[in-house]
């Protein structure tokens, strides 16, 4: 279920989250102003053909006719600045000067559609004097990939071919003895073409990495692939997620897996294999001596499938990573797995998220955790564990000497369960990452946690966001922060700590020398609270990331923050989005931005900033040597503000991303930006969605877009551009980097 861009507030988001916990099969996507409650699902459905805000899917990223130099020799790195995009002709000349008669290999990243013939001619020219060792190409289609493969057949050193997400339906790689890595993910090749591909793969003697995710190959395609896998003697990594292969397809694969002696990494997630498929797979699992990483998440295997897998896990002596998330195995399945975990001496990573595991299942797992000497990661988020289950886990944590990462987010743990966990944390000598977010630990639980934190010498990451701790809980945590010698990441967002909580937190922050990441978003701290924090920020010498979004901060609070920003020498990321800053206060912030030598990301979205505020920012942007990402989404800068920003963009040497979504800049503002885009050498991403741009503005942007090789991504969706204009522009400028989605 995709409900992005629906103006859903925090109350609605929290109610949806409660539903999601009860229905683990339900995928809910919200926009960037909220948590995404099922973060792993973005990768799994239909080519990723949807976008949840701030998580753009690769399928939708438009590409241009450019070549980027990657991982080349030192000579090339000196000639071509890092991350600079060059036209094929520029690359051809530069590479030729450096490589001619030297026989060096190069890695190219080809982004293509326009000027097809010219790109092909120049690529062939490069092949004449340089060995292409690695090629990544996007937006090519069948014709483009076929032509490239024909050229590359004459470049024997090719070992990495990545034509992912190209809508390639028929092209097959040429037999290539040097090919090591092939990525055809997201191309919809289907069963028949999977068969054609399989016929070639058996001749690729060096192939070690094959990615066929999201290709709809089904059971038939899986069978054809299975027929040649034993001949792929070097194959170590196989990714078949999201292919709908089902129980039959996994059975046909299973029949040959025992002959794949080098296979170490296998991803079969989101394939609807069910309990039957899990059983067929389990029958041969013990015959895969090299298998170290197995992902069969999101396959509806249930308790029965988990049991059939469990019966053979003890034979998998090299298995280090097991992902069974999103499978609804329940307490029974967790228990059957628990019975054999002690027989898996190499298991280091166990992911059981979204499985409806309750207190009984947690208890049965807990009973054997002490027998898992190699377990480093244990992920139990999105389950139904309450205080009793947390307590049973706590009773054995001290016996897990290697446990580094424990994730219990999105469960039903309260203050009592938190207290029982806290009581043993000091015994967990290696525990570095603890996530208790989205539980109801409240102030009492925060107090119990705080009492133990000072003794946790290794704890570096603590997430207790959305746990209802309030001001009292924040105060109890603050009292022990100076004693947390290794704490680098602290998330207490969405806790309604208010100004009082911010004041009490500030008292401890100044003495927390290691803290690098602090998330306080949506806590209602207001001007008074941010003033308390500002008074100690200069003492936080390690702080690199500060999130104060959604805190009702106004002009006064922004001013007090501005007064100390120049002292925050390590601050790289500052989020002030969705506050009430306005034009006057943004001017005070702008006045000190030039002093923030390390600031790379500034988020001022949703702050009632108008043309005047945009102008004040524009006046200093050229002095911000490190600023790479500026977010001004959903303000009110309109055409005038867009024009004032446009006037300085060519002087912003480091600015790579500019977000202006929802600012009502109209055709006039779009035209002002279009006029300077060709001069913005570093700008790689410009978001102008939802800006009341009509056909005229779209035409002006499209025209200049074709002349701006340094700008690969330009979003103009959710505007007032007619369907006819969109069709015409896409036909005239295919692959130009314009996205109307």
The continuous run of DSSP H or E covering 239 comes out as strand 237-239
For residues 721 and 699, state if they share a domain.
Answer: yes
Judge whether 470 and 443 are in contact, CB under 8 Å. yes
Q: 3-state DSSP call for residue 378?
A: strand
Domain-located, residue 729: yes
Which has the minimum average pLDDT: 81-95, 364-378, 498-512? 81-95
Same domain as 497, residue 558: yes
Rounded to the nearest 10 degrees, the angle between the axes of helix 246-257 and helix 218-228 is 10
- Are 72 and 30 in a shared domain? no
Question: How far apart (Å, rounded) are the C-alpha atoms in residues 633 and 61?
Answer: 19
Asked whether residue 431 is domain-assigned, the answer is: yes
If asked whether residues 676 and 728 sit together in one domain, one would say yes
> Once rounded to an integer, what is the mean pLDDT over residues 178-192?
79
pLDDT of residue 706: 56
Residue that is last in its domain, among 539, 571, 603 = 571
- Give mean pLDDT, residues 639-652: 95
Mean pLDDT to the nearest integer, 113-140: 54
Work out the percent of the chain whose per-residue pLDDT is above 90: 54
Give the residue among 10, 55, 47 at the shortest CA–CA distance from 29. Answer: 55
429 and 554 belong to one structural domain = yes
Mean pLDDT of the chain: 80
How far apart CA 178 and CA 462 sit, in angstroms, is 46
In terms of domains, do 565 and 453 share one? yes
Looking at the structure, tell me whether residues 631 and 507 fall in a common domain: no
Least confident of 100-114, 121-135, 227-241, 358-372: 100-114
pLDDT at 134: 56
Is 454 a member of any domain? yes
- Residue 682 sits in the same domain as residue 731: yes
Report pLDDT for 513: 84
Q: Is residue 253 part of a domain?
A: no
Last residue of a domain, one of 138, 159, 179: 138
Instruction: For residue 525, count other CB atoms closer than 10 A to its CB.
Output: 31
Pairing of strands 66-70, 685-687: unpaired
Furthest CA-CA distance within the chain: 72
Give the domain CATH number at 721.
3.80.10.10
- Determine, yes or no, domain membership for 717: yes
643 belongs to a structural domain: yes
Number of H helices, E strands in the chain: 25, 26
DSSP 52: B
Q: Please give the helix or strand (H or E) that residue 331 lies within, else none.
A: helix 330-341
Q: Which residues, listed in sequence order, are joined to residue 67 by a DSSP beta bridge?
A: 86, 110
Is 149 within a domain? no
**432 and 513 housed in the same domain:** yes
- Of 116, 138, 160, the domain-final residue: 138
User: Which pLDDT value is given to residue 501?
Assistant: 97
Closest CA to 635 of 658, 664, 657: 664
At residue 300, the pLDDT reads 96
**Residues listed for the chain:** 741
Q: Residue 707's CB: how many other CB atoms inside 10 A? A: 10
What are the tens digits of pLDDT across the range 330-343? 999 999 999 999 88
Residues 55 and 92 in one domain: no
| Closest by Cα among 179, 279, 370 to 197 | 179
| Cα distances (Å, whole numbers) of residue 704 to 172, 648, 700 | 36, 17, 6
Is residue 545 in a domain? yes
Lowest mean pLDDT among 121-130, 288-297, 386-395, 551-560: 121-130
Tell me the H-state helices in 541-650. 555-565, 582-593, 611-621, 638-648
> Is the domain of 20 the same as that of 118?
no
Q: What's the rounded Cα separation, in Å, for the pair 197 and 200?
A: 5
pLDDT tens sequence across 408-463:
999 999 999 999 999 998 888 899 999 999 999 999 999 999 999 888 889 999 99
What's the total number of domains in the chain? 4
Domain that holds residue 715: 611-739
Give percent above pLDDT 70 in the chain.
74
Instruction: Kindly report the pTM of this predicted structure.
Output: 0.81
Element (H, E) at 658: strand 657-659
- Residues 711, 622 share a domain: yes
């Amino acid at each position: 279920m995709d409900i992005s861009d629906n103006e859903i507030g925090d109350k609605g988001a929290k109610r949806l989250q409660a539903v999601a916990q009860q229905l683990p099969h339900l995928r809910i996507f919200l926009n960037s102003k909220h948590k995404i409650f099922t973060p792993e699902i973005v990768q799994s459905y239909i080519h990723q053909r949807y976008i949840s805000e701030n998580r753009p899917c690769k399928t939708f990223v438009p590409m241009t006719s450019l070549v980027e130099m990657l991982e080349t020799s030192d000579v090339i790195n000196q000639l071509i600045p890092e991350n600079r995009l060059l036209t094929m002709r520029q690359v051809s000349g530069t590479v030729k000067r450096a490589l001619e008669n030297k026989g060096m290999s190069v890695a190219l990243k080809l982004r293509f559609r326009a000027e097809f013939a010219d790109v092909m001619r120049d690529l062939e020219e490069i092949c004449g004097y340089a060995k292409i060792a690695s090629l990544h190409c996007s937006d090519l289609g069948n014709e483009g990939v076929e032509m490239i493969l024909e050229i590359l057949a004459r470049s024997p050193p090719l070992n990495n071919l990545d034509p992912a997400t190209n809508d390639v339906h028929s092209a097959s790689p040429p037999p290539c003895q040097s090919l090591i890595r092939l990525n055809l993910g997201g191309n919809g090749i289907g069963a028949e073409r999977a068969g054609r591909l399989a016929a070639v793969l058996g001749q690729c003697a060096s192939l070690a990495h094959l990615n066929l995710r999201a290709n709809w190959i089904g059971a038939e395609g899986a069978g054809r692939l299975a027929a040649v896998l034993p001949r792929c003697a070097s194959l170590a990594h196989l990714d078949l997620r999201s292919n709908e292969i089902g129980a039959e397809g996994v059975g046909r694969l299973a029949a040959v897996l025992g002959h794949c002696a080098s296979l170490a990494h296998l991803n079969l997630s989101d394939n609807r294999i069910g309990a039957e498929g899990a059983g067929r797979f389990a029958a041969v699992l013990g015959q895969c001596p090299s298998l170290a990483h197995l992902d069969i998440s999101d396959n509806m295997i249930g308790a029965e499938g988990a049991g059939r897998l469990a019966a053979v896990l003890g034979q998998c002596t090299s298995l280090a990573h097991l992902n069974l998330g999103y499978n609804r195995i329940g307490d029974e399945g967790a228990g059957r797995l628990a019975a054999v975990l002690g027989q898996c001496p190499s298991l280091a990573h166990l992911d059981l998220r979204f499985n409806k595991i309750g207190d009984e299942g947690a208890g049965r797992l807990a009973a054997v955790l002490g027998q898992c000497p190699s377990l480093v990661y244990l992920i139990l988020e999105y389950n139904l564990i309450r205080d009793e289950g947390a307590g049973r886990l706590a009773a054995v944590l001290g016996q897990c000497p290697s446990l580094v990462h424990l994730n219990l987010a999105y469960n039903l743990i309260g203050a009592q369960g938190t207290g029982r966990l806290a009581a043993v944390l000091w015994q967990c000598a290696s525990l570095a990452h603890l996530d208790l977010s989205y539980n109801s630990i409240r102030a009492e639980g925060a107090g119990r946690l705080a009492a133990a934190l000072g003794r946790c010498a290794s704890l570096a990451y603590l997430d207790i966001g959305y746990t209802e701790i309030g001001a009292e809980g924040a105060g109890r945590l603050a009292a022990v922060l100076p004693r947390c010698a290794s704490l680098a990441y602290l998330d207490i967002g969405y806790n309604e700590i208010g100004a009082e909580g911010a004041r009490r937190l500030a008292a401890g922050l100044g003495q927390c020398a290691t803290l690098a990441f602090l998330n306080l978003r949506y806590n209602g701290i207001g001007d008074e609270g941010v003033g308390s924090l500002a008074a100690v920020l200069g003492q936080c010498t390690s702080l690199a990331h500060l999130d104060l979004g959604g805190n009702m901060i106004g002009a006064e609070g922004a001013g007090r923050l501005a007064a100390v920003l120049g002292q925050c020498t390590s601050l790289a990321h500052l989020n002030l989005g969705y506050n009430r800053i306005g034009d006057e206060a943004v001017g005070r912030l702008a006045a000190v931005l030039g002093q923030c030598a390390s600031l790379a990301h500034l988020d001022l979205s949703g702050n009632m900033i108008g043309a005047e505020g945009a102008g004040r920012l524009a006046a200093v942007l050229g002095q911000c040597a490190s600023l790479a990402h500026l977010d001004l989404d959903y303000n009110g800068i309109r055409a005038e503000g867009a024009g004032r920003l446009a006037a300085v963009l060519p002087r912003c040497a480091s600015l790579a991303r500019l977000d202006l979504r929802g600012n009502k800049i109209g055709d006039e503002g779009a035209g002002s930006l279009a006029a300077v885009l060709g001069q913005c050498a570093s700008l790689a991403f410009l978001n102008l969605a939802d800006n009341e741009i009509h056909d005229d503005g779209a035409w002006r942007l499209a025209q200049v877009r074709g002349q701006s090789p340094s700008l690969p991504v330009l979003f103009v969706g959710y505007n007032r551009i007619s369907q006819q204009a969109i069709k015409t522009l896409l036909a005239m400028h295919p692959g130009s980097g314009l996205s109307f989605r």
